[in-house]
Chain A
Amino acid sequence: MTELKESKSAGGAAVGSRPWPLADELTAPFWDAAAAQRLVVQRCTECALLRFPPSARCSHCHSDGVEWAELSGRATLYSFIIDHRNMIPGFEGAYTVALATPDEVTDDSIRFVTNVPGCPPEDLRIGMPLTVTFEVVHDGVTLPQFVPEAGS
């Protein structure tokens, strides 16, 4: 097992022992973009539908033509929980898991998971504007995260 650098992140969870994403052919462009501080999702080259998580073909027109579209990173907090059960390795104590809907999606079909790092649970509000940030959790592994938009 690769030795991960121990550090502290959202909600006091120790980053070092967290599970990390195993990129595959389908998902590697997403993680590569994140490592370059860009948030991307698949866009169908036939019908332009944005989709996430990555899939081999479009659920609307069934085309396998795909390009990766960069999003603005602006999003809205859809819902959130504060985990106390701690069933995932590397996450201890009360920590936030939230869903963020990107501004580019009007039909509510894409939601990103985020810890809203740096935001105390009592300040979380459904509907609050968020903006993307990038959290380096390991050499070569960067997680997109969403934080409250400045001034909101």
Chain B
Amino acid sequence: MATTENPVAIIGVGYTELSRVPEKPETDLAVAACRAAAEDAGIGFDAVSGINIQVHHYPPPDTGAIVRELGITDVRWSVEGGLGVGALARAAQIVDAGICDAVVVCKIMNTIAPVNVPDIDPETGGVGGTAQFEVPYGLGYTMQRVGFLKRRWMHRYGITDDQVGWLCVTQREHALLNPHAIMKKPLTIEEYRASRWIADPVHLLDCDYPVNGAFAYIVGRPELATASKPVSILSWSGAGRGDTMPHLRPEADDGMNRWAHEVYTDACLGPKDMDVWMLYDGFSFLAMMWMEQLGLVEPGESGAYVEGGERIRFDGEHPVNTHGGQLSEGRLHATGHILEAVQQVRGTAGARQAVRADHAVVSSAYPHDGSVAIFGRA
């Protein structure tokens, strides 16, 4: 989809520091990130009338408390939940529809609540629902499920573990140039090889890095921005949620992501016009699958393409995840990717600025049906 008439942009971005252990209440993190985003845009919260708070676990903090602390008085749209580019698309639709002139979107992450563990009855050891066909076999968490995908994809195309490692190594290089990133030490291909197995073929270093913190952005009419350059959201995909059981669905054909054609067409652009690529990397190899699914390379060619790292480095021919991605900046469920795409298109990415960044593509969730958006200069 694209805007119906007037352009919609990201007009401000805000970050808190990221930490390995919880340090501040979620409400404080959200308020700090949202305030930073408004300051970056150069607007007050009297201009903001929509809010979307996303968390990693439930229950979420009270959106009402965040609204009060921010001083938003005219709330016309308030929704909890959603993820990544799907949530961005929803906010863009609200602004495009004229419901709000500006919407603040904030992702809060914390490492407090246990997530990603199967629901086993503590009394009896029994497990119901669909999980009854998996957990009794020792299958019950995401790292295992995506392991099936990695194995199958490597087998199908002859992609090597080292090639996946080069993506991780290159993204770590980027993180060292990104002051927001939690990872501060370089990574070598030897360290990737030696990284312990979680669920062979998934290494620990294939998994994104859990953090505590919040990132926020403001979607609004570009003319509202007074302090920073707005970045246009040229097109976006449907805001549907990706499948949470990727191992149980039919294998995708050799085509592109289900939204890719539509998103490129709506932006009147193609893969060759994309300068920087912010591709969801909740697991390293997902970003490589996204490279294939969005047409950066042909299916199965991402392995050879990332080898050595030069081509996907910030100064290479197709920079990928110049912020370090979730592997090395930290797990923000694609909100980090959205913020980095804004920085690159603005030309404010500092030491990691790509040579050319007129257009950015951003993706979230699983490559075959996850969400996609294209940004450009406003």
Contact = CB atoms under 8 A, between A and B. Distances in A.
Interface string A88-113: 11110011010100000001110111
Interface stretch (A19-27, A42-50, A66-74): A19-27
Interface string B129-155: 010111111111101100111011001
A82 interface: yes
A71 B267 CA distance: 49
A24 B51 CA distance: 41
B127 interface: yes
B251 interface: yes
Contacts of A126: 151-152, 155
B139 A113 contact: yes
B24 interface: no
Interface string B115-137: 00110110111111010111111
A113 B202 CA distance: 18
From A27, A82, A90, A137, residue with most partner B Cβ within 10 Å = A82
Contacts of A91: 138
A18 B134 CA distance: 12
Contacts of A53: 130, 133
B261 to A, nearest CB: 23
B46 to A, nearest CB: 48
Contact of B151 (A52, A80, A113): A80
A31 B199 CA distance: 28
A111 B125 contact: no
Contacts of B143: 85
B247 A84 contact: no
Given A24-B128, A84-B200, A111 B136 contact: no
A7 to B, nearest CB: 14
Interface residues of A, number: 43
A115 B144 CA distance: 13
B127 A84 contact: no
Question: Which range contains the number of B residues in contact with the other chain?
Answer: 35 or more
Contacts of B199: 81-85, 97
B250 A108 contact: yes
Interface string B170-200: 0000000000000000000000000011111
A113 B134 contact: yes
B113 interface: no
A115 B148 CA distance: 13
B137 A114 contact: yes
Contacts of B251: 108
Interface string B331-361: 0000000000000000000000000000000
A22 B130 CA distance: 10
Contacts of B148: 78-81, 99
B295 interface: no
B127 A20 contact: yes
B200 A81 contact: yes
B268 interface: no
A1 B155 CA distance: 43
- Which 10 pairs between the two chains have the least Cβ-Cβ distance? A81-B147, A21-B132, A22-B126, A82-B200, A91-B138, A79-B148, A22-B128, A84-B197, A108-B250, A79-B152
